Amino acid sequence: MRQVHRGKKQIPRQIAANLAEHFGDEALTVREIDVLRHISGGNRNRDMAERLFISEETVKVHVKHIMEKLGASDRTQAVAIAIRRGIVEL
């Protein structure tokens, strides 16, 4: 309170920790979010490619970028991270 009264800013620890978890994260593109939603629905690469009107190879590239940007080791972890961050909903 004293710091705020002196004109300084104070961020609660929990909020600061949450911000730190996402600081420097590269944002997902709109298409990557589309692909991530399809992944969360249990779709295969082939199914996603047909629904999004792109090649299966392009889907694989999007999945690779999603995993890198979220720091996920597999699709399940990517979906869990996306849900926790509010990127996708189930």
Residue 22: the pLDDT is 61
- Is 29:67 a contact under the CB 8 Å cutoff? no
In the chain, the domains with their CATH numbers are: 26-85 (1.10.10.10)
**Per-residue pLDDT tens for 30-71?**
999 999 999 999 999 999 999 999 999 999 999 999 999 999
pLDDT band at 6 (very low <50, low <70, confident <90, very high): confident
Tokens of 68: 């890198």
Mean pLDDT of the chain: 88
- CA of residue 6 relative to chain centroid, distance: 37
Amino acid at 82: A
CA distance 62 to 51: 14
Residue 13: the pLDDT is 78
**5 has a pLDDT exceeding 80:** no
